[in-house]
Structure 1
Amino acid sequence: MNVQSAINAGLFVQFVANTWQDATGKNADLDDRPILNTTGQPIIPGKNYTVLKTLYACDLATDIHPNRPCDDGWKTMGILATNDNDPNDVFIAIRGTLTIWEWIQDVKFFPKPFSNVTGSGLTEDGFTDMYQSFSLKPSANPGVFINDLIALIPAQATVTVTGHSLGAAIATLFALDLAAHSKFPLTVYTLASPRVGDLTFHNVFDSTILNAFRVVNRLDIVPKTPPPPLYIHVGDESELVPKGQVSPTIPCEHHLTTYLNLLATEIGTQASYPIEADCVPGAKAIPLTNPRASTPAQV
């Protein structure tokens, strides 16, 4: 795995995490927005990317909040982005969501067939339902999402799919659906992904997508769920091991900025990717029930 490429992929997710709500707290239409970091610079130096299309979905229902997808409408969950100077350079990035903590507390993990790809086995029902709600507009558009998305991508494009946390699980389903219905060269980077499907899903995914890289913090509990043997990880794993720079709490070990910092540590650029101030050892701990309320999508 190319570490800088994994960081770059994570920066696209961070952009979505930082911009999916507007100043009033409403879900944002990110179409045509330049992809910049918090200082107003391109997230990848020397390359300018723009959002081609915003990706929407119902939020993930849990037993704690079973009506969540209907509570306040469709959510801005991801982006389809292209390089301004090379439209064949395409990124699809999907953010995480606060429901990760409720989802862990539910711990039922019911499997269901992944009907988007025939013969691909069983996948976790919450992830599957959420992915199958994806739409190119903030309203239901069942059955045509993947075809509508493919129609927006240049025929000669090379596509990178990426996500963090539950967004990583969705990115995994997304990538297999895309690979099964197109011929784009495809690379997948997931950060902090839970397990998504059974052994059949694992076998189909790994035989279909050869360039799939799954980044895991050894101390993060989310990649350890749902449990085997029913659920099996996909892709090539790259394990990160904190060396005292992160508070050893569940939210801090899982946070997107922690992953970016740990990746950067591998190549000596960690100063450019600081972890959250609350996650510096000795800082006040992030509450488990509402981690990083000011930046909820990064969890």
Structure 2
Amino acid sequence: MNSHLRREIIRYGEFAQACYDSFDFDPHSKYCGSCKYQGSRFFEKLGMADRGYQISRYLYATSDINLPNFFQKSKLSSVWSTHANWMGYVAVCTDEDQVKRLGRRDVVVSWRGTVTYLEWIYDLKDILHSPNFTDDPSIKMELGFYDLYTKKESNCNYCSFSAREQVLAEIKRLVEYYDGEELKLGLNLVNDGENTDKIPITVYSFAGPRVGNLKFKERCEELGVKVLRVINVHDKVPTVPGIFANEKLQFQKYLEETISFPWSYAHVGVELALDHSHSPFLKPTNDPGCAHNLEAHLHLLDGYHGKGRRFCLANKRDIALVNKDCNFLKREYGVPPHWRQDENKGMVRNSDGRWVLPERPRVEAHPYDISHHLQKVLKIASGSSQLKGAQ
């Protein structure tokens, strides 16, 4: 493992971890399903103010999708939204020293995964759907993830635009704002005509399931999207959709490697496989949540030096982070499980001496110019598609 590469993968993994650390998943909170922090103080609240990035916008998705138990809802009457969940953010590198180090203006699109118990992943409907942003019907995505990316709710301020539309509009705005600079993006999908500025796109995926079929994989490769998938070999989530009985595993492997069936699910990109049993800090466990935990993946990245090499923490990343939201460290290290929470669970005393959950400033739903930039993207994409048809 190259030391510079290790640091970069961990750095982007921490941008993803920020989605979990800032998400309000307490069903007793009236703000459940939202981000706990204002965008202007997001990285400061998470102890990441020194990273040199600023939040450009928050991303939302409608909860009316085909992914069971994916979204968190408050048990109280909804205060901020009955239809939306906060999914992540777009951030841009604003520190000029960091821009110089990277050799580009870096734009990060960070998505969270599930924050509920992992049983939902086993309920994934094994249904492939043709995306409406490609002309090739053989390219298919898993229906739930397609809905997550494309569905919207006109009656909700936070998801009147789909997650896809929110991302496309914001990236277009940033491209125009930093006109003339070299940019680099981290995005989930890009299609013909939508990346007209030919910005290099890299995806760092941590513990992700399969998203689409073999044609989906091939199309991503044709478009030049670079994907690195970091997995734990004991984690079951990267094996779905498409869990097969033991006697069918070899047959499925044969299909994936030799025949491009449109209904065969396939991973995209290069796999970096880690093994939590190699870490001397972690205890044996059958808890699927531990094997899937993102902080555990970042811990494994810090100690991985290559196949067959001794596990040794290269950057001395604090092992206590592993137990933020799980019980994975050996007891001898004295770190309590599930230790990360807001002080007094966010409760404060008001002027009357009563303990209450303070009101939060209302977060802006969509910027006023989102339609303007989205229409630019769609117009360019439409023109590109027509030109291809004429050719």
**TM more than 0.5:** yes
* Residues 27-51 of structure 1 deviation map (CA, whole Å, 9 limit, x = unaligned): 136433342474x343xx5x32110
Q: Aligned partners of 2:301, 2:17: CA distance in 1, in Å?
A: 14
1:148 equivalent in structure 2: 169
Counterpart of 1:166 in structure 2 is none
* Alignment partners' CA distance in 2, 1:18 and 1:57: 18
Higher deviation after alignment, 192-201 or 70-79: 70-79
AA aligned opposite 2:114: T
- The alpha-carbon distance between structure 1 residues 100 and 176, as it changes in their structure 2 partners (threshold 3 A), is farther
Q: Does the Cα contact within 8 Å between 2:108 and 2:185 map onto a contact in 1?
A: yes
Q: 2:61 aligns with which of 42, 57, 62?
A: 57
In 1, Cα distance between the equivalents of 2:148 and 2:48?
A: 32
Following the alignment from structure 1 to structure 2, what is the Cα–Cα distance between the partners of residues 178 and 270? 43
C-alpha RMSD of the superposition: 3.6
In structure 2, the gaps of 5 or more residues are 100-104, 243-251, 257-263, 305-312, 342-391
Partner of 1:77: 87
Per the alignment, residue 231 of structure 1 pairs with 265
1:87-166 equivalent positions in 2, closer than 5 A:
88-98=105-115, 101-119=118-136, 121-133=139-151, 138-142=158-162, 144-154=165-175, 155=179, 156-161=181-186
Question: Per-residue displacement from partner, 1:206-245 (whole Å, max 9, x unpaired)?
Answer: 2223421111111111011112551000011111112152
Aligned length: 273
Contact 1:179 1:208 in 2 (8 A): no
Deviation at 1:7, TM superposition (A): 0.6
Contact 1:192 1:220 in 2 (8 A): yes
Inter-CA distance 189–179: structure 2 relative to 1 (3 Å threshold): farther
Helix, strand or coil at the partner of 2:135: coil
User: How far did residue 153 of structure 1 move?
Assistant: 1.8
Residue identity (%):
23
Q: How far apart are residue 117 of structure 1 and its match?
A: 3.1
**Alpha-carbon spacing, 1:270–1:115, altered in 2? closer, same or farther (3 Å):** farther
Change over 3 Å in CA distance of 1:147–1:104 after alignment to 2:
closer
Aligned to 1:165: none
SS at match of 1:280: coil
Q: Which residue of the partner structure matches residue 7 of structure 1?
A: 10
With structure 1 as the length reference, what TM-score do the two structures score? 0.77
Asked if the contact 1:146/1:178 (under 8 Å) is kept, the reply is no
Aligned letter for 2:218?
A: N
Tell me whether 1:203 sits opposite 2:218 in the alignment.
Answer: yes
- Per-residue deviation at 1:247? 4.0
Question: Using the alignment, how far apart are the partners of 1:3 and 1:191 within structure 2?
Answer: 14
How far apart in 2 are the matches of 1:106 and 1:180?
32
Tell me, in whole angstroms, the C-alpha distance in 2 between the residues paired with 1:292 and 1:58: 28
- Whose Rg is larger? 2
Q: Which has the higher contact order (CA 8 A, sep 6+)?
A: 1
User: Mapping of 1:268-279 within 5 angstroms?
Assistant: 268-272=314-318, 274-276=321-323, 278-279=327-328
Change (3 A) 1:11 1:137: farther
Contact 2:84–2:158 at 8 Å: present in 1 too? Answer: yes
Among 274, 279, 302, the alignment partner of 1:240 is 274
Alpha-carbon distance between aligned partners in 1 of 2:185 and 2:38, rounded to the nearest angstrom: 19
Maintained 8 Å contact 1:112/1:125: yes
| More displaced stretch, 108-117 vs 130-139 | 130-139
Deviation at 1:93, TM superposition (A): 0.5
Deviation at 1:54, TM superposition (A): 0.4
Partner SS, residue 216 of structure 1: strand
Q: Which runs of 5+ in 1 are unaligned?
A: 162-170, 284-290
Q: Following TM superposition, by how much is the alpha carbon of 1:25 offset from its aligned partner in structure 2, in angstroms?
A: 3.4
Instruction: Measure how far apart 1:137 and its partner are.
Output: 5.9
Pair 1:145–1:210, CA change in 2 (3 A): closer
